Amino acid sequence: MKARILIAEDDANIRLGLMAVLESEGHAVTAASDGAQALKLYPQMKYDLVVLDIMMPGMSGYDVCREIRARDPRVPVLFLSAKGEEIDKVVGLKLGADDYMTKPFGVHELLARVEALLRRARSGAASAAPGSNPAAAALPPVFRLGAAAIDRRRFTAALPGAEPVTLTARELRLAEEFAAHPGEVLTRDALLNAVWGVDYYGTTRTLDQHIAQLRRKIDPPGAKSSAITTLHGTGYRHDPAPPPGG
């Protein structure tokens, strides 16, 4: 299916190459030469995927991703970078990126990752709505995870006495999985399959970083323990707190 893709890449040769490859697959591609231009283009169309180079003059891909995530927690974001250090991937994942490719990369790998992101986004569009995720079908529109109230309609988490914070689509799906399986051990593979899809190309490091971000949004500052327990070598478990007076 044809997709609308926004690319931000300051290297003209790479930018034209990306356009040619993606357009040859039938996608409609809009290209920006820097981050500021990408943010001007983004509101003009409903994009199915955003591809961001990280190191751009003026406004980095990180900055663009942060701005886009503030407007839309669902659109898939793919980072491109000549850097391969782990810290770059961690920062990107914290900002809500869905995948990460290090230059140079092959055309076939690029197309495989793009198609996987588009496929997951299309299959996940319906599951993001309340009641349409099988594992979370019984959850109300607003449910509790740890100390936080999770609003599935607004993509937010709110701790008592604090302003709500935005959840990415992945964070919301993880929250739903944990709330739908209280006390159960959820393996890393099971969570990746449920939230990212069985065709996910990445590693469990992506899952671990997203859960770390989710914990920051659902655990009170200074909490001695998290609502999501790590089971080393296995996965994670959510142990609901007993109701007040229970």
What does pLDDT average to over the chain? 85
Burial of 161 (0-12, 13-18, 19+ CB in 10 A): exposed
What is the spatial distance between Cα 108 and Cα 3, in angstroms, rounded to a whole number?
18
- Residue 44, exposed/middle/buried by CB under 10 A (0-12, 13-18, 19+)? exposed
Residues 6+ apart with CB under 8 A from 177: 135, 136, 186, 191, 194, 195
Cα–Cα nearest to 227, from 189, 183, 196: 183
**DSSP category for residue 101:** E
- Supply the CATH classification number for the domain 134-238: 1.10.10.10
Q: What is the torsional sign of CA 171, 114, 59, 55?
A: positive
Tens of pLDDT along 13-46? 999 999 999 999 999 999 999 999 999 999 999 9
The answer to pTM > 0.85 is: no
- pLDDT tens digit string along 142-185? 999 999 999 988 889 999 999 999 998 889 989 999 999 999 99
The pLDDT confidence band at residue 50, using thresholds 50, 70 and 90, is very high
- Specify the DSSP class assigned to residue 148: E
Please report where in the chains the tokens 């357009």 appear, as a residue. Answer: 23
Domain with CATH 3.40.50.2300 in the chain: 4-126
| High-pLDDT (> 90) share of the chain, % | 51
pLDDT value at residue 129:
45
Q: Where in the chain is the domain with CATH 1.10.10.10?
A: 134-238
CB 40 within 8 A of CB 84: no
Which of the listed CATH numbers 3.30.420.40, 1.10.3470.10, 3.90.79.10, 3.40.50.2300 matches domain 4-126? 3.40.50.2300
Give me the pLDDT at residue 16, please: 95
- Residues constituting the chain: 246
